[in-house]
Amino acid sequence: MRRPASALRTSVNWRSPTAKPHRSFDPRRVGGLECVAWVTYYRREWLRFLRAAVGLTRHTFGLPWGSTLYGSWLVLRANQLWAPFPNNDPDGAQRTMERFYRLLARRHGESFDPVRAATLEVEWWRVHRDNQHGDGGESELTAALAALYAYVYGVSEDDVRVAAEQRALAMRHSDRWVELGCDPEDPLIEEERAALVRSYAGLLAAVHRP
């Protein structure tokens, strides 16, 4: 039986002495950093977004500082290419994320295909944007997120279902916050942060599941 998301916060010791750095992150830290990244993305505060992206890249993927800075720039650039609506550049965003995943795979000796990983990454961006404009459903978003997690971390989609569901919930809170005007004091930001923390806890549980 799948454990409830609330139980995941204390069920995993994230400081694993044997796991690779990108499989031994602190869900509270990276969830908080991603929340800041989302808030600054929608407010188009690119300098603050870059600072959050640096911290997120460092603490989620365990890259050395040189690779962290380069990877953070790639994430920033991909988001800038994706951000305009409706005239964005999805192909450019995907090529940029391909470079990011190639960096990650090379550093940690992962066997996934960076092209496939980038395709899955930008696919959930697309599904989320469709949801924002009333053309998709949350189940499709959850499926897209689960497909990315499963592929990059080499686990089953069922194992990362909680992580995907909680991330989709965080996006629901974020979208509502955007609809209400992106107020930096809105309590929805805390709801978003909490869902992201639960999502990362679920992902950590999945990659360490026997």
The verdict on residue 2 lying in a domain is no
pLDDT interval class at 2 (50, 70, 90): very low
The verdict on residue 135 lying in a domain is yes
Its domain, for residue 39, covers 22-207
The verdict on residue 9 lying in a domain is no
The verdict on residue 5 lying in a domain is no
pTM for this predicted structure: 0.87
Is the pLDDT reported for residue 199 higher than 80?
yes
- Which tens digit of pLDDT belongs to each residue from 56-95? 999 999 999 999 999 999 998 998 899 898 899 999 999 9
- Which tens digit of pLDDT belongs to each residue from 51-62? 998 999 999 999
Please report, for the chain, how many H helices and E strands are present, in that order. 9, 0
The verdict on residue 29 lying in a domain is yes
Q: Which residue type occupies 57?
A: T
- Kindly state the average pLDDT of the residues 131-139: 79
- Which tens digit of pLDDT belongs to each residue from 166-193? 999 999 999 999 999 999 999 999 999 9
Q: What is residue 210's DSSP assignment?
A: -
Is the pLDDT reported for residue 5 higher than 60?
no
Q: Which of 136, 177, 187, 144 is nearest to 163 (CA)?
A: 144
Q: Considering its fold, how many domains does the chain have in total?
A: 1
What confidence score (pLDDT) does residue 81 get?
95
The verdict on residue 172 lying in a domain is yes
Mean pLDDT of the chain, nearest integer: 89
Is the pLDDT reported for residue 17 higher than 70?
no
DSSP string, 108-174: HT--S-HHHHHHHHHHHHHHHHHHHTTS--HHHHHHHHHHHHHHHHT--TTTTHHHHHHHHHHHHHH
Q: Which residue type occupies 90?
A: P
